[in-house]
Amino acid sequence: VWLDVNLRWDPDKYNGIKVVRIPFTDVWKPDILLYNNADVTSYFSSLSSNVIVTSEGNVTWLSMVIFKSSCRIDVRYFPFDEQNCSMQFASWTYDGFQLQLRMNSEEGDISNYIRNSEWVLIKLHVEWNLVYYSCCIEPYPDITYYIQIRRRPLFYVFNMILPCILITLVALLGFYIPSDSGEKVTMGITTLLSMTVFMMLVAENMPPTSDVLPLIGKFLLQLCFTVLVTNIVSVLLNVCVVLDAAWI
């Protein structure tokens, strides 16, 4: 919604008409863009809808568009993680003296929010910022939406956490098998293979990032290392037993 004083008229001179709907290509539109956009084509994929113009010069453009924004992901506590993302909207060519950006409230409008099956919206906060760039003396305002979301962990609990607990129990039971038993090595190799496949499954369900390692990944890696060391010790003990028997 913006105000264009050039589109004002006197309703008494036009049979009391106060609102008109005209194609959006016939009026001036502010070049408001998403600065941290992850998809350049999203801005041009908006629905070609009409604009609503009132006699006071207020222009409303209810356009449908899907924005794809870049966000830094923290997977340390995956799948019980919370993410904080931001979407920065500002004009690309107009400065603060030519185009004034205003917001109605500091809380975002979520009246039309549709519940997501994977994420829970915790908070939507809006801030108005004024930025000065080194190239120009004019201020450049922007409106930034700060979005805080929490992952729904139920799916990952049944498909990742519970199998991880079961594999851990199997690995712990392997320590009670006598070292001179061949089944101990077989069970250890099977457990190690299961954990390797499970780690691949965990990696496929997480976004690729090198900033931080998830705790579940560290736990599985340490468990794999422990089982591997146990298998090596068991093999060495079996070799020692066989060599001692040969000398006897």
pLDDT digits 0-9 by tens, 125-177:
999 998 888 888 888 899 999 999 999 999 888 888 888 888 878 877 777 77
* Contact of 81 with 216, CB cutoff 8 Å: no
Shared domain check, 238 and 177? yes
Domain holding 167, by residue range, is 154-247
Q: Which residue has the higher pLDDT, 233 or 79?
A: 79
Query: What integer is the mean pLDDT of 4-12?
Result: 90
In the predicted structure, residue 121 carries a pLDDT above the cut 90: yes
Position 242 scores a pLDDT of: 61
Shared domain check, 228 and 158? yes
Residues 6+ apart with CB under 8 A from 159: none
Position 46 scores a pLDDT of: 55
Shared domain check, 133 and 92? yes
Position 4 scores a pLDDT of: 87
Instruction: Determine the Cα–Cα distance for residues 70 and 91; give it in Å rounded to an integer.
Output: 19
What percentage of the chain carries pLDDT values higher than 90? 19
Shared domain check, 104 and 45? no
In the predicted structure, residue 44 carries a pLDDT above the cut 60: no
Query: What integer is the mean pLDDT of 99-114?
Result: 82
In the predicted structure, residue 240 carries a pLDDT above the cut 90: no
Position 213 scores a pLDDT of: 83
**The pTM is what?**
0.74
Shared domain check, 238 and 165? yes
Position 197 scores a pLDDT of: 82
In the predicted structure, residue 90 carries a pLDDT above the cut 70: yes
Instruction: Determine the Cα–Cα distance for residues 70 and 19; give it in Å rounded to an integer.
Output: 38
Shared domain check, 178 and 232? yes
Position 40 scores a pLDDT of: 67
Q: Which residue has the higher pLDDT, 3 or 234?
A: 3
pLDDT in tens, 216-225: 888 888 887 8
Structural domains counted in the chain = 3
Q: How confident is the model at residue 110 (pLDDT cuts 50, 70, 90)?
A: confident
CATH number at residue 135: 2.70.170.10
Shared domain check, 162 and 147? no
Position 38 scores a pLDDT of: 77
Shared domain check, 165 and 91? no
In the predicted structure, residue 101 carries a pLDDT above the cut 80: yes
State residue 171 phi and psi, 5-degree precision.
-65, -35
In the predicted structure, residue 214 carries a pLDDT above the cut 80: yes
Give the max Cα distance, the chain: 118
Instruction: Determine the Cα–Cα distance for residues 90 and 194; give it in Å rounded to an integer.
Output: 50
Position 201 scores a pLDDT of: 80
Shared domain check, 89 and 52? no
In the predicted structure, residue 188 carries a pLDDT above the cut 80: no
Position 108 scores a pLDDT of: 79
Position 79 scores a pLDDT of: 86
Instruction: Determine the Cα–Cα distance for residues 32 and 93; give it in Å rounded to an integer.
Output: 9
DSSP string, the chain: -EE-GGG---GGGGTT--EEEEEGGGS----EEETTBS-GGGGGG----EEEEETTSEEEE-------B------TTTTS-EEEEEEEEEESS--TTT-----S-SB---TTPPPPSSEEEEEEEEEEEEEE-TT-SSEEEEEEEEEEEEE--HHHIIIIIHHHHHHHHHHHHGGGS-TT-HHHHHHHHHHHHHHHHHHHHHHHTS---SS---HHHHHHHHHHHHHHHHHHHHHHHHHHHHHHHHH-
